[in-house]
Amino acid sequence: GRGHALGHKVYEFESTPPIPFETDKVVTPEGFTWKPLVKWGDPIIAGAPEFDFDNQTAAAQEKQFGYNCDYVGLVRHGRSGRGLLVVNNEYTNDELMFRGFTGYSSMTKEQIKIAMAAHGMSVVEVARKGREWEAKMGARKNRRITPNTEFAITGAAAGSKLLRTKADPTGRRVYGTFANCAGGTTPWGTVLSGEENFNGYFKTASAPAGQEAAYKRYGITGSKGRNWDSVDPRFDTSMEPNEVNRFGYVVEIDPTDPTSTPRKHTALGRLKHEGANVQIARNGHVVAYTGDDERYDYLYKFVSKRKYREGDRRHNMTLLEEGDLYVAKFTGDGQQDGVCDGTGTWLPLVVGGKSKIAGMSVEEVLVWTRLAADRAGATKMDRPEDVEPSPVTGKVYVALTNNSKRTAAEVDEANPRPSNKHGQVLELVEDRGDHTGTTFTWKLVLICGDPEDPTTYFDGFDKSEVSPISCPDNVAFDSEGNLWISTDGNALGNADAFFMMPLDGADAGHLKQFHTVPHGAESAGPLIVDDKTVFCAVQHPGEVDGASPSAPASLFPYDGTGQPRPSVIQVFRDKAGKPGKQGRPGK
């Protein structure tokens, strides 16, 4: 039976109280415990040296688990209880990695190469042993993907003039991925990963002729970068003005083949992709939902040209290479009904291989997608982060983290608060359940903050019984369709945390806090595994003002190295069959 299940049944855990931000602990609900699964520097590739903070090298880091884990995917593989863990390593905290760090310009070339190699993605074979999961060091399918890994560019913008560089006159091959934030696991067993804040990696004095508007819209002008250009000149836009156009995509990795060439899909547009999640529509086309994480940016969806074929993995792996691209417009029906809700339209950007934006070619729409969406008249959102369809209902959930800059004149029913510090979660229901359609209804199921704040809303549930929540970022689901939400940047002064909220029945809106993460950390990449285990990426532990390796604010995961190490952890019941305080006994 489901004796160890987390809940509806899941629901039986007792919420943890708000934990002060400075607390350097993982706090789990009563009856649960946690353990690291894989840590920054773990020697995942055969032959890699053990982690050695004071003697780190780029060659070692190329074979070790990367820094600042974010998205966590699990592709099942072989016998049950085995899988391939695929993790984004979004960025590095160089101030916590290198003694004597006083700024990017103070770094040695070797340190810059170490930081670069700590970016990208990590693939690790994992297996369940009893109630716990184990990462297999040196396993055959383990892989590091870094800014030096070769990618293929797919879709209508592949080969475009905008993507050609001196090193790649074809505009079809590019080295690396970085700033990989959230992601998704596809029905065909690959992993999607969103290239988010790529602009911050390029040194830019001024925009090249003809690209001024695009550079400005993507925040590239005036950037100092991370001094990566001192080891690789393509990170200086004055040397290579188109290199930056080759980042900002959804990338697809086949973790089952460590020799495969990962791909960047231009058909899903270029933006600060938080991640992407795929839904197979009833008519067989596949739909990918993706958010652009910036204040006032947009929600997008892609609809594949070809149809999904059950069991034909080779074919399905091509589905994200060609299709239509839309951006969302939300219309409120008025707040007199006491609910933030309304109707919406998917505005076309590219349909049937043709640009729907006057004055822009298909290639321009796919490379300068933000400019196209501006012209289409999309709704400016409060930072669209993770977007994921419920595997139970097909309804789509969008985490909107915050937007402290929104003014009273700029509020609308989907983004209803000025100076929005705490964010909201939007539920989108495609009309007639057709994910390929162009109209939908929507409502805010969660308006975050302290429940005593009258502007908050917990799907109509009694607010005296819910946990405070701030800055929803990543979402996940258990098999019963309960929504799980992780936070980034709690503006109530509490530790970031992981929450569960039922979406239907009498408990709908009963948000409960599950575990919290240590000082300075973000609770990222959550995954509910078999309704029994929570995988969570503890990202940037110790990231606070003035942090340094000699005075770290966090020692997570408390392994005696004296340094914080971003790690994927697992949270599970602390004894087989033993219920939590509010738990349901196993059967």
Choice from 317, 339, 429, 544 touching Ca ion (CB under 5 A): 339
Choice from 195, 232, 293, 430 touching ligand FEO (CB under 6 A): 293
If contact means CB under 5 to 8 A according to the sort of partner, which of Ca ion, ligand FEO, none does residue 333 touch? Ca ion
Counting contacts by CB under 6 A, is residue 385 touching ligand FEO? yes
Choice from 96, 174, 182, 425 touching Ca ion (CB under 5 A): 182
Cα distances (angstroms) measured from residue 326 to each of 194, 260, 287, 289: 17, 30, 11, 10
Q: What secondary structure does DSSP assign to 491-539, as a single string?
A: TTSBPPEEEEE--SSTTTT--EEEEE--TT-EEEEEEEETTTEEEEEEE
7 neighbors 13 (Cβ within 8 angstroms): yes
Cα distances (angstroms) measured from residue 300 to each of 276, 342, 428: 10, 18, 12
d(CA 409, CA 417): 10
Applying CB under 5 A, the span of 140-148, 272-280, 453-461, 494-502 interacting with Ca ion comes to: 272-280
Binding to Ca ion in span 472-511, by CB under 5 A: 473-474
Sign of CA dihedral 289, 291, 292, 298: positive
Closest distance to ligand FEO from the beta carbon of 536 (Å)? 15
What contacts 294, CB < 8 A, 6 or more positions away? 219, 272, 383
Q: With CA atoms as reference, report the closest residue to 87 among 123, 62, 119.
A: 123
Q: Which is nearer to ligand FEO, 193 or 516 (CB)?
A: 193
Closest distance to ligand FEO from the beta carbon of 179 (Å)? 7
Counting contacts by CB under 6 A, is residue 125 touching ligand FEO? no
Closest distance to ligand FEO from the beta carbon of 274 (Å)? 5
Q: Which is nearer to ligand FEO, 241 or 291 (CB)?
A: 291
Closest distance to ligand FEO from the beta carbon of 334 (Å)? 31
Q: Which is nearer to ligand FEO, 173 or 421 (CB)?
A: 421
Counting contacts by CB under 6 A, is residue 274 touching ligand FEO? yes
Cβ count within 10 A of residue 30: 14
Counting contacts by CB under 6 A, is residue 382 touching ligand FEO? no
Q: With CA atoms as reference, report the closest residue to 84 among 4, 143, 129.
A: 143
Choice from 12, 42, 374, 385 touching Ca ion (CB under 5 A): 385
Applying CB under 5 A, the span of 74-82, 270-278, 373-381, 574-582 interacting with Ca ion comes to: 270-278
Site size for Ca ion, by CB under 5 A? 11
Closest distance to ligand FEO from the beta carbon of 328 (Å)? 17
Q: Which is nearer to ligand FEO, 148 or 197 (CB)?
A: 197
Counting contacts by CB under 5 A, is residue 337 touching Ca ion? yes
Closest distance to ligand FEO from the beta carbon of 181 (Å)? 3
d(CA 435, CA 389): 10
If contact means CB under 5 to 8 A according to the sort of partner, which of ligand FEO, Ca ion, none does residue 386 touch? Ca ion
Choice from 26, 121, 153, 181 touching Ca ion (CB under 5 A): 181
Closest distance to Ca ion from the beta carbon of 444 (Å)? 9
- The helix (H) or strand (E) run that includes residue 386 is strand 384-389
Q: Which is nearer to ligand FEO, 90 or 229 (CB)?
A: 90
Q: Is 12 helix (H, G, I), strand (E, B) or coil?
A: helix
Q: Which is nearer to ligand FEO, 413 or 522 (CB)?
A: 522
Alpha helices in 345-463 (DSSP H): 362-367, 369-376
Q: Tell me the per-residue interface mask from 52 to 91 with ligand FEO, x by CB under 6 A, - otherwise.
A: --------------------------------------x-
Counting contacts by CB under 5 A, is residue 90 touching Ca ion? no
Site size for ligand FEO, by CB under 6 A? 6
Closest distance to ligand FEO from the beta carbon of 407 (Å)? 22
Counting contacts by CB under 5 A, is residue 374 touching Ca ion? no
Counting contacts by CB under 6 A, is residue 250 touching ligand FEO? no
Choice from 42, 195, 386, 478 touching Ca ion (CB under 5 A): 386
d(CA 539, CA 549): 16
Counting contacts by CB under 5 A, is residue 333 touching Ca ion? yes
Q: How many CA atoms lie within 13 A of 430 on its CB side?
A: 20
Q: With CA atoms as reference, report the closest residue to 303 among 254, 262, 329, 269.
A: 269
**What are the structure tokens assigned to 250, written together?**
């959804």
Quote the distance between the C-alpha of residue 134 and its chain's center: 23
* Adjacent-strand bridge partners of 152: 173, 263
Q: How many CA atoms lie within 13 A of 65 on its CB side?
A: 31
Q: Which is nearer to Ca ion, 142 or 487 (CB)?
A: 487
If contact means CB under 5 to 8 A according to the sort of partner, which of ligand FEO, Ca ion, none does residue 382 touch? none
What contacts 264, CB < 8 A, 6 or more positions away? 151, 152, 153, 154, 174, 177, 195, 246, 249, 250, 251
Closest distance to ligand FEO from the beta carbon of 251 (Å)? 15
Q: Which is nearer to ligand FEO, 363 or 473 (CB)?
A: 473
Q: With CA atoms as reference, report the closest residue to 215 among 240, 195, 245, 235.
A: 245
Instruction: Enumerate binding residues for ligand FEO (CB under 6 A).
Output: 90, 181, 196, 274, 293, 385
**Interface residues toward Ca ion, by CB under 5 A:** 181-182, 274, 333, 337, 339, 341, 385-386, 473-474
